[in-house]
């Protein structure tokens, strides 16, 4: 019995270590709201925050906090990428042009925006499937404005649900830790 428990423990630890060594975001890319490719590998060595968003959601006012984060930490290598999606409650505008105009007009956004992107289902973006694999079912977006912190090595280090504001103390502390980890 003890030997089987030890074997199971070693198997779990070994699988986790392999997963950590081989898994990072640098294999993924998004298409920007302007149609250009955003390769996450271009941000190697920088902390990244990726957020799934929607323009007509009850959490849309979080764009202000996201912009504040970006303004406060962009000069310290922080990259923020917002991923608009219509997958949760059909709360996104109908075109990339409308999304861009909405974000710049209402929130003066200056961080990266992707095109409207599928997150769930068979056509879901591979990044979000990777999140589910790395952090489990609970980390996969259940609604708009889930936030994902990626360290300088491209590893998912924490995630936050929609109800956690971008300027929440937990997020700020983790971003500052990532910035200091050089």
> Residue ranges of the domains in the chain?
25-180
| DSSP, residue by residue, 59-110 | TTTHHHHHHHHHHHHGGGT-EEEEEE-STTTS-S-SSHHHHHHHHHHHH---
Kindly report the average pLDDT of the chain as a whole number.
89
pLDDT of residue 64: 98
pLDDT of residue 23: 64
Asked whether residue 6 carries a pLDDT value surpassing 50, the answer given is: no
Annotated catalytic residue within 40, 57, 150, 178: 57
Binned at pLDDT 50, 70 and 90, residue 180 comes out as confident
Which region, left, alpha or beta, applies to residue 90 given φ > 0 means left and ψ of -120 to 50 means alpha?
left
pLDDT over threshold 80, residue 16? no
Task: Give catalytic status of residue 57 as yes or no.
Answer: yes
Q: pLDDT, tens digit, for every residue of 68-99?
A: 999 999 999 999 999 999 999 999 999 999 99
90-138 pLDDT, tens digit per residue, is 999 999 999 999 999 999 999 999 999 999 999 999 999 999 999 999 9
pLDDT in tens, 27-64: 999 999 999 999 999 999 999 999 999 999 999 999 99
What does pTM read for this prediction? Answer: 0.87
**For the domain 25-180, what is the CATH code?**
3.40.30.10
Q: Could you tell me if 27 and 37 are in contact, meaning their C-beta atoms sit under 8 angstroms apart?
A: no
């Amino acid at each position: 019995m003890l030997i089987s428990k030890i074997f199971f423990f070693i198997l779990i630890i070994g699988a986790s270590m392999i997963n950590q060594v081989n898994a990072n975001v640098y294999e993924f890319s998004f298409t920007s709201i302007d149609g250009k490719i955003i390769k996450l590998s271009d941000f190697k060595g920088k902390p990244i925050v990726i957020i799934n968003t929607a323009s007509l959601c009850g959490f849309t006012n979080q764009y202000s906090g996201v912009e504040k984060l970006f303004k406060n930490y962009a000069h310290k290598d922080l990259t923020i990428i917002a991923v608009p999606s219509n997958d949760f409650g059909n709360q996104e505008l109908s075109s990339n042009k409308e999304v861009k105009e909405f974000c710049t007009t209402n929130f003066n956004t200056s961080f990266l925006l992707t095109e409207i992107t599928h997150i769930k289902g068979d056509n879901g973006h591979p990044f979000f499937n990777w999140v589910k694999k790395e952090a489990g079912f609970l980390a996969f977006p259940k609604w708009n404005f889930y936030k994902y912190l990626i360290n300088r090595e491209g590893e998912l280090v924490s995630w936050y649900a929609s109800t956690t504001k971008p300027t929440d103390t937990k997020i700020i502390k983790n971003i500052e830790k990532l910035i200091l980890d050089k």
